[in-house]
Structure 1
Amino acid sequence: MTYTGWIILTASLVGLSCGLIGVFLILRKLAMMSDAISHTVLLGIVIAFLITRELSGSHMLIGAIIAGILTSFLVQWMNSLDIELHASMGIVFTTLFAIGVILIATSVGNAHLDVKHALMGEITFVPFHTISLPVIGDVPATTALLALVLLIVIVFIVAFYKEWKITSFDPALAASLGLPVAFMHYAFMSLVSITTVASFDAVGSIMVVAMLITPAASAYLWTDKLSVMLILSSLFGVVSAIVGYYIAAWIDTSISGSMAFATGIVFFISFVFSPKHGIISKYIKPGGDLVQH
């Protein structure tokens, strides 16, 4: 596969995984939790490096996942103390992210961990770091990891589809039916953390947040059916990755930033043209006549 092909494939895998996870974040009204986790995983990555002094390996993923779960736990705990949910997210993620930045500045030294890398990623370097897989051959390590994460996300969504559907729409009903609501919540947050950190090194936190929130929000405008929403959100994520790459190539700018911008374009189109919630549909009667305001 060509250099361009690997970049687009890698970004598309991010779009697919984040698109699926993002639907449940939107439905659970936890959209900004993705922003919180995408920042606080930096602390987990830094601590994992300080313990092992290695920049690659499973320990980085484990550290990021622990940081993501810790973020979710602290947010839920503060919310239980009657602190408003979004305020809890803001307090937790700014504090933990600040600790990560301080540790990078004071303890990491010359290792390649920096805030700019955390925000924007290094997707242009993805094709150069390869691993050899049976049958397939040499593939970028990040692409292989993202493919594995996508498989895990799909397996969990299929296996617990009914449980996540009920706990997302009506947690009280789920609890009355005997479903482990708290366990499902933290299992979901673990999945968010895994998806976030797998995407983190390649595309940075800005694109991760964009891919987790915007495609799902766009899909929400087109349909009220969960299964269709999942498909549309994934599709929008892939479209944003492809369009964003060619925007970046056209104007010679950041690939990740352009892909994040492309998610905004998709949302704007959805906001204007979606048949049920779009701006145009609100001004047109079912028979085709304009609505007078």
Structure 2
Amino acid sequence: MIAIEALWTIMVAALASINCALIGIYLVLRKIAMMGDAIAHAMLPGIVLGVLSTGSKNSPVIVVGAGLMGLLVTFLVSLLEKKIRIQIDAAIGINFTFLFALGVILISFFSRKIDLDPECSLYGELATVPLDICQTASGIHLGPKAFYILLMVLVCNMTFLIIGYKHLFVSTFDPQFAKSIGVNTTYWHYILMAVTALTTVAAFEVAGAILVVALLIVPTASMYLITKCLKHLLFYNIIFAILTSIGGYYMSLLFNSSMAAAMVTTAGLLFLGTFVFVKFKNN
């Protein structure tokens, strides 16, 4: 029988993976997958400044700070690409490396004032998630705080995807047609970036600033080999995310390794398995 701590850990990992997988679909289909990478890295200074200003890692101020940094890097990339005519990959590289390095310096400089481990910031620490619990006034444990945070983010993401489905669909696959029928593609782009920032900061404790990128990109990259239908992609990505979480948890136990790293390794193996399956099926 699975222990309650293990069950909570897997559920938290699954929620983080599902959130990233759902939003990652649009990043990959829009061919801006590395914007997720940029946002995940660039939000680090916002998190550090939020912790410094509040003294807590659970304050809503941190979400706001990280979200603002995510929007900032999106704006700066767009500025360099459109106004200064720098290629988008170079613009992403310039901005996210600068902001990420700034975040690392801030962590080092204020290491005595904030409880934020640089290594955990990079790779996450899923194993400690069940220790930070919610409880009632009478002392009844309700489970990890991360579970409820990620669950609320999932509700927000699902609401966004349902309300904006048609606009996101047409602006993703045919932006010129979207503009011709009155869809504000710029508005939906920045809303998507804001939701991406919210998702990455929610998954930050689970996967860190580096490994969260794989949770955004690998599910869609894998499932896109099987189907090109957006609705099917949304469903398959959820299944992929759950398998990644379960497989990653047990792989980390087997090899006594980082759970987040094991999850990403599992995702990579699932991608390889999907690729081999599709090639074998087509031949």
The TM tier, using the shorter chain, reads over 0.9
Deviation at 1:129, TM superposition (A): 1.1
1-structure distance, mates of 2:181, 2:266:
41
- 1:1-293 alignment to 2 at 5 Å? 2-80=4-82, 81-132=84-135, 138-274=142-278, 279-282=279-282, 284=283
Where 1:256 maps in the other structure, the secondary structure is: helix
Greater C-alpha radius of gyration: 1
2-structure distance, mates of 1:52, 1:147:
23
1-structure distance, mates of 2:136, 2:244:
28
Deviations 1:43-98 (A, max 9, x none): 11112223333332100111111111111111111110211111111110000011
Deviations 1:179-215 (A, max 9, x none): 1111100100010000000010122123311110001
2-structure distance, mates of 1:73, 1:130:
37
2-structure distance, mates of 1:92, 1:100:
12
Contact 1:244 1:261 in 2 (8 A): yes
Deviations 1:138-172 (A, max 9, x none): 12111100011011111110111000001111111
1-structure distance, mates of 2:209, 2:48:
15
Which is further off, 107-116 or 188-197?
107-116
Root-mean-square deviation (CA, aligned residues, Å) is 1.6
2-structure distance, mates of 1:247, 1:151:
29
Deviation at 1:120, TM superposition (A): 1.5
Unaligned runs of 5+ residues in structure 1 are 285-293
What is the letter of the counterpart of residue 280 of structure 1?
F
Q: What is the number of equivalent residue pairs in this alignment?
A: 278
Deviation at 1:114, TM superposition (A): 2.8
Unaligned runs of 5+ residues in structure 2 are none
2-structure distance, mates of 1:137, 1:48:
27
Deviation at 1:38, TM superposition (A): 0.9
2-structure distance, mates of 1:121, 1:197:
11
